[in-house]
């Protein structure tokens, strides 16, 4: 089905059981909104997941779990194309071509690689982790995406994607759409509840600092109530002076739709405790139906798998066309059938 809407593409890794609140507010929330305005392609990036060691049974379960959470968050298979990256072999195929166009130095400057490889030690970090951003480039360019909704930490990868699209187009003729990052300023970086100097992250946050959406809501409510706050008592949005309170205000505002200044007024003269108690309740009210919807898809793996199979079929139709064009431009001899 051809569409005159702009294209959107994004992906999320099945590397943890549960999404966290940063994933939802920074990325997935935008995915849900953009199904209404864009021709939307969203995927669970299992090829990216194996850049660090994965237990096979867990990876398979987490891939289904990620898809169920995306549906639970509001993706609608009638409004978007939801699929699993490894079901579309064109990603790895275009990835190779892109590897051959990317400079070694250029790839070496990716901060995510530097952080993650430093954590693992140079000997344990794989070549796959090094070329991770280049596979991501292929993901995006295959779908001729105009916009890529992600959190702030992904900006550098999208910039590299733009550079590579322009390089390929310059060398071989117009082939790829040059994509733009779609990063919502307010929620681009949700911070750790215990350490508002770092982003909420499945690999870096301590358990008390991260809100996992599939945890018991009571557990998350407790974490919100014990979030670190700043000195003073005033509830005011001030990212440098009051990073803890500002983070809670961002979360509150996004989950309810109330403006930050409205919230500042509402809590004038009240203490941090009142804000945290109310936010805990807001979160529980939001997450309870999310968990129930996710569970419905987990309880019905046949439906889930059939959504993913249809998604892969739709995705392949688009990806195969772009790959054929790219192969032709590069000078590969067409295979005769
Ligand atoms: P890791 O800790 O392994 O890097 P992660 O917790 O950052 O993982 P990803 O799976 O890498 O999560 O991210 C999925 C999406 O969520 C990406 O678009 C990413 O930019 C976004 N995201 C992740 N953490 C945050 C955050 N704290 N605030 C806003 N967006 C985020
Ligand atoms: N690197 C991304 C996941 C990802 C992605 C993509 C995001 C893989 N391929 C294509 C946008 C577009 C991350 O969230 N860590």
Could you confirm whether 276 is annotated as catalytic?
Answer: no
pLDDT digits (tens, 9 = 90+) for 75-110: 999 999 999 999 999 999 999 999 999 999 999 999
Q: Is the CB of 38 under 6 A from ligand 2?
A: no
CA-wise closest residue to 72 among 309, 220, 305, 292: 292
Asked if 102 and 138 count as a contact pair (C-beta separation under 8 A), the reply is: no
CA-wise closest residue to 116 among 13, 31, 227: 13
Pocket residue to mutate for ligand 2, from 24, 48, 90, most atoms within 8 A of Cβ: 48
Give Cα separations from 110 to 77, 174, 178, 197, 217 (angstroms). Answer: 34, 26, 19, 21, 36
Distance 230 CA to ligand 2 centre (A): 33
d(C-alpha 293, C-alpha 306), whole Å:
17
Q: What angle do CA 311, 315, 319 make, to 5 degrees?
A: 165
Q: Which of 119, 185, 202, 223 is flagged as catalytic?
A: 202
Could you confirm whether 202 is annotated as catalytic?
Answer: yes
Could you confirm whether 223 is annotated as catalytic?
Answer: no
d(C-alpha 237, C-alpha 247), whole Å:
8
pLDDT digits (tens, 9 = 90+) for 177-206: 999 999 999 999 999 999 999 999 998 899
CA atoms within 13 A on the CB side of 172: 18
What per-residue confidence (pLDDT) applies to 6? 98
What per-residue confidence (pLDDT) applies to 193? 98
Confidence label for 2 from pLDDT (cuts 50, 70 and 90): low
Query: Which residue's C-alpha comes closest to atom 9 of ligand 2?
Result: 136
The first and second tokens of residue 315, run together, are 């995705």
The first and second tokens of residue 6, run together, are 């702009």
Rg (CA), the chain: 21
Give Cα separations from 332 to 35, 161, 304, 324, 335 (angstroms). Answer: 36, 23, 37, 10, 9
What per-residue confidence (pLDDT) applies to 336? 86
d(C-alpha 119, C-alpha 164), whole Å:
28
pLDDT digits (tens, 9 = 90+) for 107-144: 999 999 999 999 888 788 999 999 999 999 999 999 99
Mean pLDDT of 237-249: 96
pLDDT digits (tens, 9 = 90+) for 294-311: 999 999 999 999 999 999
Share in percent of the chain as helix, strand, coil (round to 5): 55, 10, 35
């Amino acid at each position: 089905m051809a569409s005159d809407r702009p294209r959107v593409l994004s992906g999320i890794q099945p590397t943890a059981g549960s999404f966290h609140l940063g994933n939802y507010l920074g990325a997935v929330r935008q995915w849900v909104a953009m199904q209404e305005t864009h021709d939307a392609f969203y995927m669970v990036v299992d090829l990216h997941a194996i850049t660090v060691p994965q237990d096979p049974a867990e990876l398979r379960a987490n891939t289904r779990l990620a898809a169920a959470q995306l549906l639970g968050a509001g993706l609608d298979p009638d409004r978007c194309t939801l699929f699993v990256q490894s079901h579309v072999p064109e990603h790895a195929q275009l990835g190779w071509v892109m590897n051959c166009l990317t400079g070694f130095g250029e790839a070496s400057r990716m901060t995510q690689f530097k952080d993650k490889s430093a954590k693992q030690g140079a000997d344990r970090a794989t070549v796959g982790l090094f070329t991770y951003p280049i596979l991501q480039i292929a993901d995006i360019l295959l779908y001729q995406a105009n916009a890529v909704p992600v959190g702030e930490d992904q900006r550098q990868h999208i910039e590299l994607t733009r550079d590579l699209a322009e390089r390929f187009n310059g060398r071989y003729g117009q082939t790829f759409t040059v994509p733009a990052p779609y990063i919502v300023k307010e929620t681009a970086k949700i911070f750790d509840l215990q350490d508002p100097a770092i982003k909420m992250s499945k690999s870096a946050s301590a358990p008390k600092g991260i809100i996992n959406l599939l945890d018991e809501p009571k557990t998350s409510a407790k974490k919100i109530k014990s979030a670190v706050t700043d000195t003073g008592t005033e509830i005011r949005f001030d990212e440098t002076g009051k990073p803890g309170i500002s983070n809670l205000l961002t979360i509150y505002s996004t989950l309810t739709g109330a403006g930050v200044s409205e919230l500042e007024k509402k809590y004038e003269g009240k203490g941090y405790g009142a804000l945290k108690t109310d936010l805990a309740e807001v979160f529980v009210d939001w997450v309870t139906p999310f968990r129930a919807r996710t569970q419905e898809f987990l309880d019905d793996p046949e439906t889930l798998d059939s959504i993913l199979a249809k998604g892969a079929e739709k995705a392949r139709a688009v990806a195969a066309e772009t790959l054929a064009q790219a192969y032709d431009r590069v000078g590969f001899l067409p295979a005769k059938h």
